[in-house]
Structure 1
Amino acid sequence: MNSEWKTTACPYDCPCACSMLARVNGGNIELRVNPANKQCSFICAKGRRFIKRINDPRRLLHPLMRRGADWVKISWDEALGLWAEKISAAVKDCGPLSVMSFASAGSMTFSKQLIPAFYAALGGFTKTKGTLCSSIGSAGLKESTCGFGVPYVPLEDISTARGLLFWGRNSRHTQPQMAPSLAALRRGGGETACVEVSLSATAAQSDRFWRISPGGDWALAAWLCRRLVDDKRDCRGWRARVVNHGEFLRVLHNADMEWLLAQAGLSEETAEEIYRWLLSHYPVVHIPAYGAQRYLHGDMQFRWIFALAVLCGGFEDARAGLSFSKDEGELFPDGIFKESSNIRRFGVTTWPAELLKAEPPVRVLNILCANPAQQSPDSRLIEEALAAVDFKVCSEVFMTRTAELCDLVLPTSIFLEEEDWIGGYGHSYISRNERVAAPRGECRSDWETYGALAERLGLDLDMRGLFSQMGTDDLRRRPPPRGIAEPLSLGRTMLLEALRLPCAAAGDDAAAAENTGGTPAPRHRSLGAVHQRAKYRRSGVVYGADRQSAGKILSGEKDSGRRQGAHSLRQRRGTYHARGDRPLPRGRYRLGDAGAAGTKQADLRIRGTGEGRALRGVFYNSRKDVTG
């Protein structure tokens, strides 16, 4: 027997967040596109995989407790009792900071944002700060908007712009549902252009494509800002909105334009072509890539692109602004998403090392929507950190590697089995997520699990009451959609009263503390300064590598022996430099920890760069195929 079609949306960490209609047909799930969301024209392979995922025989259906090398099925009552006992003991002995939460983006339903209310009622906790995805760029944009938030341009506005400039964004692969907006832009006589390090699928389909050096986006943006000001083609009203316009202009006027182009890897002729294109296609939407901010100077990358958008009139016309992401949580009633004021934060990439030396120690670790043992840097160190924690709990759909390392594993439901809300950070829709099928086995949603744990601990928390507020007519700006996704305008965040533009160049030491968890090094240097990086640019610089220890090139394809001396690496402010001035020979190399057994999982390929050799490789938290 067929059930009725119900509205839901894909919960993956993807800007599309495709709205779908789903139903149960003969015991199987059927999915189709929701016609109410005009930006969703198909369901991708990952989304269609949920049809089989919900009935996968490998799904966890009951709470499991580790007993030696075996797993034993226990009841929810036993699981909650054991969990509460461990938390109570940890809080009594070491305080609430001995309880840590590691949560990521395995499911993006809004109810996951209610979980911090549990820790607020507990009196505090330890958590990670930043993300492996977008924290560096977001930090730069929040600073540029004087704390307001991250700019966003709705796809509906992009459709009517005259130009769209991708700064490394490969939307054809990472946000394919932008296609209708790009087609509408072209029908209106507009063009799309792409600044990229290689000919991506998006670059190949754009009307214009310019190749740039990895990490050189900020330099091109700064060069374009200078040209706009010198030619008096900048939008005249921007100075009234910028709190530091005098300092910004002084920095621009002192800029070494040739040096900027050298950092961008562009000829003056190519830069002039980009400049003319910007002028002839106003308004232009600027869309930076996630990869463009995965450098130690990633915040400056975004701040300079934002500055260019401001000078191009982004505060006057939303279609001339910068679009990166948005916070759908602002649609919900004030106070529904609660967080404790007593929080200890570990960096998202450094938390294992910080946990191992933390005081008070982490006694209980709760993991949900995450699989750090397989998805985060340095899995060996992560396993060491997990082993040091007395009691570990993982809420999961399948027995992942992280779940295998825990003491208690709890079965969680998937979005087709839940009532919830889902929004997208790449479009202006929010979907009511209706329950399509009953949860399998003893699966529960995460908010139900933490609500039950709060009751077992006797905490002053009504999790069900908080959840019910999400479905009331208190949803701001318009009543909540009933059964069909409706477009909800989240505002045009470029229309701000106060902006702050960058007054420094992007240096190698501009580490973003929000992403690394470390203390940011000084980064305010003159745009005309020749950084230490230039000295090593031809002999090889590797960005985004593991910053915990110095590295050495251990072996090569042509020489199985150790390559040291002039070809070893040394660490300098989080950046790896090739020792010596002579170029490295062509070949493949392995980067490993000095004094550690084994090698890092990062290949170095030596490629010709004209006047020498440069290291080329793929590293944690780095833009694809980064070249120094």
Structure 2
Amino acid sequence: MITDPASRESGFHVDTQCPFCSVQCKIRLTKNIPLPGTQRSTYSVEGIPNAASEGRLCVKGMNAHQHVTSTDRLLQPLVKKDGKLTPASWEEALNRIRDNFLDVSERYGPDAIGLYGGGSLTNEAAYLLGKFARIALGTKYIDYNGRFCMSAAASAGNKTFGIDRGLTCRLSDIPLARCIILAGTNIAECQPTLMPYFTKAKENGAFIIVIDPRVTATAAIADIHLQIKPGTDAALANGMLKVLLSESLLDETFISDRTNGFAGLKQHLAAVDLDEIAEMTGLDKAIIHKAAVTYGQAETGILFTARGVEQQTDGHVAVRNFLNIVLATGKIGKPGCGYGAITGQGNGQGGREHGQKSDQLPGYRSIDDEQDRAYVAKVWGVESQEIPRKGVSAYEMMELVHQGAIRSLFVMGSNPVVSNPNADLVEEGLSKIDFLVVADMFLSETARMADVVLPVTAYLENDGTLTNLEGRVLLRETTIAAPGETRHDWSILCELAEMLGKQRYFPFESAEQIFNELRLASRGGLADYYGITYDRLRRDGGVYWPCPSTEENDTNGMLFEQAFAHADGKAIFHPVQSRLPQEIPDEQFPLTMTNGRVLSHYLTGVQTRRSPSLAARSVENFIELHPRTARKYKIEDGEWVEVSSRRGSFSVRSRITDKIREDTLFVPMHWGGVQNVNKATSPELDPNCKMPGFKTSAVSIRPLR
């Protein structure tokens, strides 16, 4: 908490947490009073001990305050006049939004309005955005950028276990594991404060297996690095399952007592040929065998997946096949064992639980389930038939914008013109939409296209809860005054609801009041927050969900110790076919492009590029390619190249390295404009979870000379 909240010009210190990745490290930020004769304040940053990061901070957390104090902050509303964004009053900006929403709803129906949220919003804002869409506007079209983050793992966890929580175990279980598989996750750059857990595990004798087409900083700690062809993860899991079966490394008792469907998987594996798997994945058969045997023989083990596995058009079933490995060996529900989906965004876990997904109501309830609808309707004080039915996923909303079916769009905490696949189509759609509203801290690439831009508060100024990758709910509080005319995102929604005549459904005057309704709306759902209160979070520092009781928490963070979340208490095996990626390189587009993160940036870089310390580390985008690939296409290190696919093209600087497969290119995802990798990524979606196939785009490359 702040010891001196007098003004933003005086000194203070505040205990907060990092706004970036899913670890949600705790921070003490001190603003020092300027010395006599100077004008510039200085800041001191230190980590606060906590159960997740244990007091560690990475370079992003150390510099997170810089974007908050940036002179680029939006401090008053902007409205478009004569094609130009100009300063306006809140009254004018909100009146424009209200008038447009009422007009569009009357002329075309409420479904002509769309809402697009984000995985960095607090639980309170995410909850309220979902309620605002369905009750204040009556539209079914709401989704969020977390669709591109956790949807494959979330849907796989729900189908396999009956519940989706990022980690089924605790971070403290990692040092207890004797074998750890890291599939498609570069923790050293994406969640660096977690790396000591893995180094501690290695000190304890753990064997680490990394699955990644690149030799990342994470792969550097591996005992086995499976440098796989992008898009063949499901096939690799089949190969490992085949070995586990043939070497009799299965936990037959666990399979019999706690799972269903193994007979079908066993029948499927009988037809799996390890030589074919090796050819498909680009791996040696012997190393697949060694990896599987090592994991199977280990007394304890944890398997992690992230975007490398999940951002594919078969991401859902690829994750399910890795979950088959976990279940087949019985490595779940006990210390040192489990499965973890490494969440990317700060509130990637909580953001997908309470209603900003198109198919979801608070508490991870289904919007198509009549009992779920009836329960939430009662909490909201409406009839269940007043709650719209399921809409579509984030990218499909952009297609509806392009087609003109969605005529007005409200974007909060996201930058879809950069983050979506097939970015040229998205930009074209947003350029011709009737009305675009963006609530953001900065003039992002999407905000520049808006008709109205609303300035919102930053993490240092906005109270609320966030849920980290473990499923631990954390409270972030502050009494720092909002700068300029900025407002909290949730308060903007409440005021708009009042202007739309829906005030009685949005009577909130604080984030805590919203959270108390969220608790009630989630009660009895899969993600049950009912037993969590702000006072409890202040006292305990964090509480795992599910937490149905306001008494002592009845969970220790370990899921599935006795039963899974399906009605019969059993997990479900699911046979998965081995398949090639959705796009196969050909003569015109001979290479496979994948994408990902770098240490110094976050998402589309809207915040981190406003931090001088972070921007200086990665000034521009780049493409990694193997030396032999560079020679083949006559590309020199450091020169600008054009990368093209069937969707479009972008230009970046080359970076030649032997730490990537010869048939693969890698491009970070944090830049827009001509450097936007998503101009070339595929819009094809996973049929189960609507995740785009970001990781396997067939492309060509040429030097720009």
Query: CA offset at residue 434 of structure 1?
Result: 1.3
Verify the 8 A CA contact 1:288 1:323 in the aligned structure 2: yes
Distance 1:355 1:63, change over 3 A: same
Matched-pair contact (CA < 8 Å) for 1:403–1:409: yes
Seen in structure 2, the aligned counterparts of structure 1 residues 144 and 604 have a Cα distance that, compared at 3 Å, is: farther
TM-score by length of 1: 0.78
Q: CA deviation at 1:170?
A: 1.4
Q: In the aligned structure 2, how far is the partner of 1:614 from the partner of 1:48?
A: 37
Instruction: Answer with 391-400 or 129-138: which moved more.
Output: 129-138
* Other-structure match for 2:574: 502
Q: 1:10 aligns with which of 10, 18, 29?
A: 18
The one-letter amino acid of 2:250's match is D
- The aligned runs of 1:430-449 (5 Å cut-off) are 430-449=473-492
> Which residue does the alignment assign to 1:492?
558
Shift of 1:479: 5.0
Contact 1:235 1:313 in 2 (8 A): yes
The equivalent residue for 1:581 is none
Contact 2:430 2:449 in 1 (8 A): yes
Higher mean alpha-carbon deviation, 536-545 vs 97-106, is at 536-545
SS at 2:453's partner residue? strand
- Residues 142-189 of structure 1: per-residue CA shift (max 9 Å, x gap): 332356566532101223222211113211111112123224323433
CA distance in 1, matches of 2:410, 2:93: 13
- In structure 2, C-alpha distance between the alignment counterparts of 1:188 and 1:149, rounded to whole Å: 27
Instruction: Specify which of 442, 450, 454 is matched with residue 406 of structure 1.
Output: 450
Q: Is residue 388 of structure 2 the alignment partner of residue 342 of structure 1?
A: yes
Give yes or no for contact 2:591–2:698 (8 Å, CA) kept in 1. no
Task: Show the counterpart of 1:217.
Answer: 233
- Structure-1 separation of matches of 2:68 and 2:138: 36
Q: 1:419 aligns with which of 445, 463, 474?
A: 463
Do 2:350 and 2:468's aligned partners in 1 also have CA atoms closer than 8 Å? yes
Q: Does residue 290 of the first structure (1) align with residue 307 of the second (2)?
A: yes
Matches within 5 A, 1:67-216: 67-108=81-122, 110-121=124-135, 122-128=137-143, 131-146=147-162, 152-216=168-232
Distance 1:131 1:92 in 2: 30
- Match in the other structure for 1:34: 48
CA contact under 8 A between 1:102 and 1:370: conserved in structure 2? Answer: yes
C-alpha contact (below 8 Å) 2:22/2:468 kept by paired residues: yes
SS in 1 for 2:249: coil
TM-superposed deviation, 1:401:
2.3
1:540-573 deviation per Cα after TM superposition (whole angstroms, max 9, x unaligned): 574789xxxxxxxxxxxxxxxxxxxxxxxxxxxx
TM-superposed deviation, 1:100:
0.8
Q: Is the 8 A contact 2:177 2:206 kept in 1?
A: yes
> Is 1:371 matched with 2:388?
no
The 10-residue stretch of structure 1 (22-31 or 235-244) with the greater mean CA deviation from structure 2: 22-31
The answer to whether the 8 Å contact 1:120/1:341 transfers is: yes
Aligned to 2:9: none
Moved more, 476-485 or 496-505: 476-485
Say if 2:590 and 2:698, in contact at 8 Å, map to a contact too. Answer: no
1:311 and 2:328 aligned = yes
Q: Kindly tell me: are residues 156 and 388 of structure 1, through their superposed partners in 2, closer, same or farther at Cα, counting changes over 3 Å?
A: same
User: Structure 2 CA distance, aligned partners of 1:351 and 1:268?
Assistant: 43
Contact 1:163 1:190 in 2 (8 A): yes
Cα distance in 1 for partners of 2:341, 2:122 equals: 17
User: 1:440 Cα deviation (Å)?
Assistant: 0.4
Superposed, which structure 2 residues align to 1:604-619 within 5 Å? none
Residues 111 and 139 in structure 2, CA contact (< 8 A), matched pair in contact too:
yes
Separation in structure 2 between the aligned mates of residue 2 and residue 468 of structure 1, nearest angstrom: 22
Deviates more, 1:473-482 or 1:448-457: 473-482
1:64 is matched by which residue type in structure 2?
L
Relative to the length of structure 2, the TM-score reads 0.70
Structure 2 SS opposite 1:409:
strand
Where in structure 2 are the equivalents of 1:182-581 lying within 5 Å? 182-236=198-252, 237-317=254-334, 319-324=336-341, 327-328=349-350, 341-343=387-389, 345-358=391-404, 361-425=405-469, 427=470, 429-459=472-502, 460-464=504-508, 467-469=511-513, 476-477=530-531, 479-480=533-534, 481=536, 483=538, 486-490=541-545, 491-494=557-560, 495-496=563-564, 497-508=569-580, 540=590, 542=592
Distance 1:268 1:60, change over 3 A: closer
- Counterpart of 2:457, as a letter, is S
Deviation per CA, 1:21-56: give whole Å up to 9, x if none: 335543856532122345243333323333332232
Give the superposed CA RMSD. 3.8
Question: How far did 1:463 drift?
Answer: 4.7
CA distance in 1, matches of 2:133, 2:225: 49
Tell me, yes or no, if the aligned pair for 1:22 and 1:436 is still in contact at 8 Å.
Answer: no
The answer (yes or no) to whether the contact 2:173–2:336 under 8 Å persists in 1 is: yes
- Give the counterpart of 1:601 among 642, 650, 655: 650
After superposition, the Cα gap between the structure-2 partners of 1:485 and 1:231, relative to the gap in structure 1 and judged at 3 Å, is same
Comparing 68-77 with 482-491, greater Cα deviation is found at 482-491
Of 258-267 and 90-99, more deviation after overlay is shown by 258-267
User: What displacement does 1:107 show?
Assistant: 4.0
Per-residue CA shift, 1:456-484, capped at 9, x if unaligned?
A: 11114125178434566985455544557
Percent identity between matched residues is 18
SS of 2:105's partner is helix
> Is the Cα contact below 8 Å between 1:593 and 1:600 reproduced in 2?
yes
Q: Displacement of 1:239 after TM fit?
A: 3.4
Provide the C-alpha distance between the structure 1 equivalents of 2:477 and 2:589, rounded to a whole number of angstroms: 57
Secondary structure of 1:215's aligned partner: coil
Counterpart residue number, 1:22: 29
Cα deviations by residue, 1:363-403 (Å, 9 ceiling, x for unpaired): 32111111222333344322321233222111111122211
Opposite residue 327 of structure 2, the aligned amino acid is V
Matched residue, 1:562: none
Q: What's the secondary structure of 1:124's corresponding residue? A: coil
Q: Secondary structure at the match of 2:173?
A: helix
Match of 1:432, SS state, is strand
Check whether the contact 2:124–2:490 (CA below 8 A) recurs between aligned residues.
no
1:46 aligns with one of 48, 60, 69 = 60
Q: Distance in 1 between matches of 2:579 and 2:324?
A: 17
**Unaligned 5+ runs, structure 2:** 6-11, 35-40, 344-348, 355-361, 364-374, 521-528, 546-556, 596-630, 636-640, 657-661, 668-679, 682-692, 701-705
| Cα shift at 1:298 | 2.1
Question: CA 1:213–1:50 in 2, change beyond 3 Å: closer, same or farther?
Answer: closer
Output the amino acid matched with 1:73: P
